[in-house]
Copies of this chain bind each other. A is one copy, B any other.
């Protein structure tokens, strides 16, 4: 956005830099759920497509096309990331452009990032509730708090 000279100014904007950093961290964390799903599919022997088991002995194939609780758990965690991290990135971008205080913005970004990392640990590790529920709720509240500021600039 803006031409190269102006883009360097963007990279001098601390709030936007902080947003970029934490957005990249949570998106990368979300992307790691895919290799984790692959790992569980391989170790648990639970696949979704015929072509994924075509090299296995014919008598094993049918058994390998199944859902395994560990795989489904990681997939639910991945889905929960999609449902929460993407709204954070969109609302967070608009929030960063609305010119908040750097310290307030950092508090939002760090709380969200921490809550989602803990949420993944609680989900994949099946920690007792309400650990997962509370970390999910903290992430939601941080996003709503940023949305509240964005809504002060409403143009309907």
Point out residues on A near B: beta carbons under 8 Å.
Answer: 1-4, 6-14, 16-18, 20-21, 23-24, 27-28, 30-31, 33-34, 48-52, 54-55, 73, 76, 78, 82-84, 86-87, 89-91, 94, 97-99, 126-129, 132, 140, 143-144, 147, 150-151, 153-156
Contacts and interface: CB of A to CB of B under 8 A. Distances in A.
Nearest to A18: B155
A21 B156 contact: yes
Nearest to A83: B34
Contact of A155 (B3, B9, B14, B33): B14
Nearest to A38: B133
Contact of A27 (B16, B50, B78, B90): B90
Given A17-B153, A20-B153, A90-B23, A7 B99 contact: yes
A87 B85 CA distance: 10
A19 B120 CA distance: 31
26 contacts: A1-B2, A1-B97, A2-B9, A3-B12, A7-B97, A11-B97, A14-B155, A20-B150, A21-B155, A23-B90, A24-B91, A24-B94, A24-B147, A28-B144, A30-B87, A31-B83, A31-B87, A31-B143, A34-B84, A48-B76, A49-B73, A51-B127, A51-B129, A51-B132, A55-B129, A78-B83
